[in-house]
Amino acid sequence: MNDRSRSVLVIGAGVQGLSTATVLAEAGHRVRVRTSEHPSETTSAVAGAVWGPTSLWPVERARRWAERTYGVFLELATDPATGVHSAAGIVAGRTGFPETPPGSLGLLDGVRPCGAGELPPGFAVGMRANLPLVDMPRYMEYLSNRFLDAGGELVHSTVPSLSDAAGESSLVVNCAGVGARELVGDPGVRPVSGQHVVVENPGLDEFFVELSDVGEWTSYMPHGQRLVLGGTAVEHDWNRTPDPQVTEGILRRCGAIQPVLHDARVREELVGLRPHSDAVRLHTEHYAGARIVHDYGHGGSGVMVSWGCAYEVVELLLTDLDD
């Protein structure tokens, strides 16, 4: 095989791109990641993030991706350096769940309904669970270092077209996130902006996540001295500038559940662009002499299905290749 065909090009350095690149590099492949943003500047880096319920389509594939990712996160949670840790907490709804337990929580043991007095005012239903939480700035640094330690190459440069990518390698993985809208001409992928507020943790060690189908909800996720509060979702919004009024709303909603948060010191206000699509686009395309596996459109669930997607991408990319 020539040099072009032995290497793999991964487009994008968010959690999908870096997870896939790490799997490939640790399997002995020569891997280059090209990215327009440093991993610490991607939407992945400003996520909450918790492994929990997801509404991704296709449903059965998403559940498999989530289950495999859960197993990896449990292993990573044994090492504090990864930024992954397990925590107890509540997943709640103000009106009810479409299924009980909701989404991927049905994959787990030890999930139980909230008892009397466990739910905050205004919530009708809730489940208690122990779930992996991911401190994304630390996790993205860990993932970047793990990829580089495996011999991977991280290049800060844009990929203007699939033709450019195919000219560089006959094996390409497209994890461009919302950038796939322009890269592959897919109008079905669109930005959903989300704002979080990071405050000094006043001592909370449990999480709270509201499931909501409207554009705002209440959540807090402890990561040591940092507490990430959420959240919002605004479709077709490319603006990454934090809105002070949105920050006030997040603080107000979280303070209504945990009064100690009324006086918490704000450390950061963060905005990311979730790559939303009606269904995750994970499939193979043959283009200009290259095999391209597309993997984008995970919305706000990219972290919780990241390893499951990464392993499926690698299987699709390398199936039936000659040695």
Work out the pLDDT band at 1, boundaries 50, 70, 90: very low
Q: Report whether 121 contacts 94 (CB < 8 A).
A: no
Residue 49 structure tokens: 């993030």
Name the average pLDDT for the chain: 95
pLDDT at residue number 322: 55
Q: Is 6 a residue whose pLDDT tops 80?
A: no
DSSP states of 65-88: HHHHHHHHHHHHTT-GGGSEEEEE
Between residues 57 and 116, which one has the greater pLDDT? 57
Q: Which amino acid is at 109?
A: D
Q: What is the mean pLDDT of residues 75-92?
A: 97
Q: Report whether 110 contacts 129 (CB < 8 A).
A: yes
Q: What does each C-alpha distance from 273 to 135, 142, 210, 294 come to in angstroms?
A: 18, 22, 20, 19
Q: What is the mean pLDDT of residues 286-304?
A: 97
Q: Is 5 a residue whose pLDDT tops 70?
A: no
